[in-house]
Every structure is written in C-alpha cells, then in structure tokens.
Structure 1
Amino acid sequence: MRYGIAFIAHFCNFTLLAQNSIISITMVAMVNNTDHLPPHLNSSAERLPAVLNSNQPEASKHLSLKGTGYGGQFALWQRWAPPNERSRLCSIAMSGMILGIFTVLLVGGIITEALGWPFVFYIFGGIGVVCCLLWVILVYDDPVSHPWISVPEKEYILSSLNQQFSSEEQPLPIKAMLKSLPLWSMGLCIMTHQWLINTFVIYTPTYISSVFSVNIRDNGFLSSLPFFVAWANGILGGQLADFLLSKNFRLITVRKIVTILGNTPSAVLIVVLPYVQSSYITTITFLTLSCGLGSLCQAGVYINALDIAPRYASLLMGTSRGFAHSSAVLVPIVAGFFLSQDSEFGWRNLFFVLFAINLFGLIIYLVFGKADIQEWARERKLTRL
C-alpha cells in the first residue's frame, strides 16, 4: 500500500509540474493567434512574438512559474515511510515532477500544432482531475486509518516509526530552528540546486534554438530528452541511497554522497557546454547527462528534513521549497543581464555563475549538514509528580 501511495503521489506531482510548465510551450502559439482579439489588443499582442522568438531573457521571465504543495507530501511520508525505505519512496513520488516537465516538452508542441493551444490545457487539466480523485479515494493520513492496508504492513510501518514520531502536539521551536545550521545548510543547498533546475527548465529550449537553430517541433523533442533521463535517474537514486544504507553506510554519508553525485557533475557539464557547441551530438549528450544526474539529489538533501526533524518535515520542506523558488525569479534576472550584453560570452558567464552558486550551496551542506534528529525536534517528555 505504501508503494501504491508513492505512485499516486508520483502522478499527482506529474500533474502539478505539467500544468505549471504548459505556458512554456503554449506562450508563442497564444500570442501569435491574434485573429480572435479585439483590434485594440492586436498591436500589443503582435509585439510579444518578437520578444519570445528573439531568445531574449525577458521572454523567459514569463516561464518561471513553479508548483507549490511540495511540503504537504512530507506530512504523509513522516507517517508512511519506514526509515530504510524513505529514499526510494520519496524518490518515486518526487520523480513525477520531472516526468511532468518531460511530457509537456515532448507532446505540448504536437498537441498545439494538431489541435490548438487550448487543448493542451484541457488534456492536462483532465489528467489533474483524475489524479485528484485517486488521491481523495486511495490516500489516507496514516496506516492506522487506511481501510485496505494489510495488518502485517501496518504493523511493520508503525513499529519502524514509533521511535521517530509522536502524534502529540508540541510548540514550534522557532528560535532553535532559526539557529540550526543543519537546517539552513539544507535550505541553501536546495535553493542553489533549484537554480540549476530552473536554468534547465527555462533556458534549455532557448539554448538549443540559439546554437543550432532547430525548429520548434524538433526543439520539443530535444528539450524533453534530458528530463526523461532525469526521471529515470531520480527513481534509481532512491534505490541507490537505500542500497548504501543496507551496506551500513552512515545516513549522513549517504545523503551527502547522492547530493554530490546530483550536483557537481551536472554543474561541470553545463560549464563545458559553450566549449563543445561546435558538436551537435556532444552538446545534446552533455545536456542530457547534466539534467539526468541532477535528479539524484532527490534522495539526498531534498528529503533531509525527514532525517533531522521528522515531526516538522512538512513545514520545513514547504518552507525550503518556497525559499528555493526564489531562484525561479533570480535566474531570468541574472540571465537577462548576461545575455543582453553578448550572446556567446553571455551563455558562458551565465553557466560559470551557475557553477559557482551550486558549488557554494554544496560546500555549505557538506560542512554543516546532519542526518540525526536535532535536539529541538526531539520528543519532549513531561515528568509527572
């Protein structure tokens, strides 16, 4: 049942990111379709395609929307995920986000050309309704309240979590949380890694188009390929983390290993891109590997809140994700500064800044990151006289 819930969460996350990524595919078609607009709107609408098709960074500011609701899933996993299966369950669920981006980039352009841009919204909106119904019918707060879970599975989950989580309400230790270096290092590392992810989502189509001048339909296929690899690696990363734990690696060691694997190679491959742009195959290969390896972080820093503060994991991951979304605003601003000056050197400088930011967040996490339950998150027992 716990794996069934992970797959339902996977498809809900798929819908969440797909619906928030639709605009990146449909924007050009929407602003080009001015026949149905009143005359006083045509003039402003006709100016937008020129901006969007010019590969200028201003266009990408419209494409930086991201989904929310990420932290709420951790309220589920703190009651459903045994510690020795936490990496794989969370990775299965979170990989749905990457699958959503991949699917929209792959078929969004095809649907737009064949049926018109409104049908992209209709189709993915319909999928969202189905996912919502599955969630309402099949997902419950915890194993105790689930009507169809087997007794052995329920006992297994509850016995594995009884040392980590209590249902008793306790005051939120805001002061201690604000002073917690492991908490801050986790949030900063997630934010800097999201800088990398947002660069992929917003600028992969623009970079491919500017370097190789491929048409929009081919661009959709090429842009989606890295996210397919990332989707597969995200699931495999959870398996790798739990495998290392089964070999008696320390939990913090596992978290940091998969975070390094999902961070450093991706940033290095992006920095190299401007130096291999003469080779079409090499560029696409590096983009694919860079994006694909980045999803390994899902089994590392992204679920670290369940390690250091399982009782507050939902709040911490929602806050960290919200903090990380600042990169969706900052990336287009920084890219706009570099790309508006010089296209060739602009990409090079943009990628160097990305590498520096990622390295900074990773180093902070490697130095201050922890995986044991922090003192402020422990169960407080009251002594009765």
Structure 2
Amino acid sequence: MHVAVISMHTSPRATAGGGDAGGLNIFVDQTSRALAAAGATVDVFTRGDHSTVEVAPGYRVHTLPAGPADAAKEDLPQYTDEFARQLSALPSFRGADVIHAHYWLSADAALKAAHGRPVIATFHTTAARKRHHGHSPSPAETFREQTERRIAAETFALTANTATDRDELSLDVGVPPEKLTIVRPGIDRNVFYPGGPAAQWPVSASGLKMLFAGRFQDYKGPDVALDTLAELTDASLESSLVMIGDQSGPGSLDLVARARERGVEDKVAFIPPMMQDRLALMYRAADVVLVPSRHETFGLVAAEALATGTPVVGHAAGGLLDLVDDGVDGLLVHSRDPREWAQAVAPWAKGGVPHDVVAAAADHGRHFSWESTASTLLELYRQAVMSSVDAHNL
C-alpha cells in the first residue's frame, strides 16, 4: 500500500506547541511511522524548501515551495492550486494508491491533484465547530465552511477521532455519519507510560502542581489555566502552574503580563515547546494536567497525560467527553470560568489527588497506541482502493 499524506500548512517534523504545530503534527508523524512499520510506503507532502527527508524506513517527508515561505496560515488558501500543481508533478505522489489529507487546506489541494484516486480527509477542526464555540465569523471563515462542505461531499470518507467528534462533524459538514470512520489517535507508549522518571518541577511554590501544554492562543484556553491558578491563590490554596507552549497566530495572549496582573508571577513558569520525551517527564512531575480548550476533537495532550498516570481536568466539550471519565481518571468542567475550574480542583489542592484517580488514569492510558490507529487506517485505505477499482471497472 502506497499512501500519500498531505499536510500542507504544517510539517510533521515541527515541534508541537508553537506556531501552527500541535496535535495534527504528532498525528501525521506517528501514524506515518506506524503505517511504514506495518509495511506501507508513506510519502508526506508539506510546504517548505523543495527537499526530501527519509524520516524512517518507508516514511519520507517532501517539502514543496508553494507560496512565500513565511506566509501565514490565514493566507494559504490562495496557494492550494499551486500546491496541487506541484503535487501532480511528483512521481512519489502520482504513484500513491490512496491520498489522506489533514486539515481543509490539504484536502482542497488533494482533491485538485487526485486524478481519480480516492481521497480521505481528516479535518481536525472545522469552521462550523469553531464558530459554535465562540470564534468570530468572517468572510474567510465562511469560505472555509463552504469549502469543508464541498470536501466532505467529494472525498471517499472522512475520519473522526471519537464518537462525539463523528456526530459533531456530521452536522458541521452535512454528511451522514456512515461516511465517517472513527480513527482513534494513539500515544507513543515507549515515551508516555506511568512510573517512569519525572522532571524537576521548575516552580518553587508548594501545593498542587498543575500543567498546561499547548499553543498560547485563546482557543486553547491558557488564560483559563492561569486564572485558575490565581483563583486558587486568592482562596489561600497552595498551587503552582507550568505552561509549556508558545505564541500562535492572531489569537495569541500575553500570559506573562497576565500573571503579573493577577499576582501569580512567582507561582508560574513558562517553558518553550519541547520534544515528546521531555514532555513525558513534565507530565509525570505534575499532579494534574489542565485542558481548558474551547473544543478538542480528541485531546492528544489529555491522552498523553493519562498514559503517564497524571489525571486530567478538561473542558466538557468535544472529544474530551469521550476521553476523560469524569470523577474516575480526571474531572470535566462544564464551563471555561476559572472560578469553576478552581472549585473543581480545590479538593485536590487541599488534600492531594486521590490514589485511585491516579491509578485509573494510568489504566486508561494503556488503551492508546499508534499501532492500533494505523491498523484502522490501513483497513480504511483498502476499502477506498477497492471502491476505486470497482468504480473504474463499471
């Protein structure tokens, strides 16, 4: 099986947590590795300086210079035609049996370059879902929403991360649920496991050790995490917070200034994005990981944290509803009001995280693997190829 994977706007080799890099990058990289290990040939195509790198046996990343190198993600829709033309000229793309596109930009380009081959799309997020969760509408977002509906109609299949994601995506893009296949993301179990070494906590303050990992933009809710720390401090509950990530896009937040304003600058540490092996050390050092995103289709940070045995406190929306078992391996908060987040974790700040919650988190994390994800994808790819062959034989 020869698979062409399209990730136009961001490279799987980028470090998650900064710029436009996040769970999508990890998903593309780890599934490509697992697919190649299972015997598939995987060629990934992204924007960059016209080069090819073999990441692992059977897994290569090709970069194509479509548009200015420093073009913002918001400007990339005008370059999908150019990206598609470059794809069509590459033997490594033309020889693929099936095309898997990640994000709407990639899917748009993939359909333009497919020439009859089946295309599978994973949106990761949609314009309709962002609008539903408070993202301001704009002409660009309206265009994106229309394009996502067209993509949904023209592709062989869409993938969703969880049952909740499938149901929401069906409404977002107007396709029946049966066109959606649940492909549950995994984690690297050689990196994220309980009971391993932990990092030294970089904040000297005592009490509940909380961690946030993700892009410092409004949608991910780092301000909610920081204000939760402030609310606990105002209530005389000892706690500290480590924030791993970086500024990202127009929704970036000045969290350092906010920490000063709330009087918690001595209780928080800001750390740049890091590789997964170091991130696992930080998860193990934390008592709890906060995931206050407006919406997550899955919540890879939450899965990674659980796999290290660290409970998760997440916003009760999207994939986190399927991922976090409220009161068992973590907590779900039904708003993004920091006062409610502080109330939720206050018992743990007073008496520590219960041992049974930690044990349940570690047990839950054992169910995630990229090998299982790759197996589901390979079966979907086979169905797509067979359907394409049958269609050509009619």
Instruction: Calculate the TM-score normalised by the size of structure 1.
Output: 0.34
Give the number of the structure with larger relative contact order, counting CA–CA contacts within 8 Å between residues 6 or more apart. 1
Higher helix proportion (structure 1 or 2): 1
Max Rg structure: 1
TM-score (structure 2 length as normaliser): 0.33
